Amino acid sequence: MDANNQTILITGGTSGIGLALVNQLSKNNCILVLARSHEKMETFFGSISNIHCYCCDLSSQTAVMHALECIIRDHPNISIVINNAGIQYTPLFTADDFTLKSINEELQVNLYAPLIISAILIKHWRHNNQQSAIVNISSVLAIFPKTSAAVYCATKAALHNFSRALSYQLENTCTRVHEAILPLVDTAMTKGRAGKKISTQMAATEIIAGISSNKKIIYVGKTKWIPLLVRINPSFVANMFKKY
């Protein structure tokens, strides 16, 4: 699907990869930003006419449903959603500071919100027989989990399988499903971690290129080597990401 002259919803568009996507896509599209911080949205986008902001706590199912109702009412020609927002807590289940609250928050933001948004938009698109696309931002950790973020890895693995199953369901419809598999990206989430990181700008550029070239799975950066490495030595790759 051409990523130009579209109306594109981006979740988590006030920081990291989401902000880079907004900045790049806003040159040729109408952008709808769905994020928690009203202050950040006003600071970044308040004076830009083709960027429209919706404040929403993605950990609340009620808030997500209300926000989508407003978005569809205001922008019925919405054609692409990029489910980008994500959070990651790293305490081990065996750690003294681990709390059950963190499980729920990661599940709500990383998994439930994309599922709810996708379901609502698919119904809207099918009703209007509209060319459209769902883009789920995932991670190499969906395939090879690391030790310190079990819940995050589980949500990304679920999103990975959801993307694949949903693409089967929508094969003969006007909606395409894309999944972007990301490596370590230089964001607030990865601050202080060792390892070579790619920039948010590079990640955004490759995601957009993948959408435009209609790739179902968009391997970003070094993740392009993952399919080959999995065939050659999967246990080596698994051990490598264990301490990612």
Chain centroid to CA 24:
16
Taking the C-alpha atoms of residue 187 and residue 85, their distance in angstroms, rounded to an integer, is 12
Please give the DSSP secondary-structure letter assigned to residue 239.
H
Taking the C-alpha atoms of residue 110 and residue 83, their distance in angstroms, rounded to an integer, is 9
Model pLDDT for residues 143-161, shown as the tens digit of each residue: 999 998 999 999 999 999 9
Task: Name, of 64-78, 174-188, 189-203, the range with top average pLDDT.
Answer: 64-78
117: left (phi over 0), alpha (psi -120 to 50) or beta: alpha
Model pLDDT for residues 84-116, shown as the tens digit of each residue: 999 998 778 998 888 888 899 999 999 999 999
Cβ atoms of residues 4 and 26 within 8 Å:
no
Q: What residues form DSSP beta bridges with 8?
A: 31, 80
Instruction: Read off the amino acid at residue 56.
Output: C
pLDDT tier at 194 (50, 70, 90 boundaries)?
Answer: low
Helices 61-74 and 113-128: crossing angle, nearest 10°? 30
Taking the C-alpha atoms of residue 52 and residue 46, their distance in angstroms, rounded to an integer, is 8
Residue 36 burial (CB count, 10 A): 18
Taking the C-alpha atoms of residue 79 and residue 8, their distance in angstroms, rounded to an integer, is 6
Average pLDDT over residues 19-44: 96
Strand (E) or helix (H) holding 234 = helix 234-242
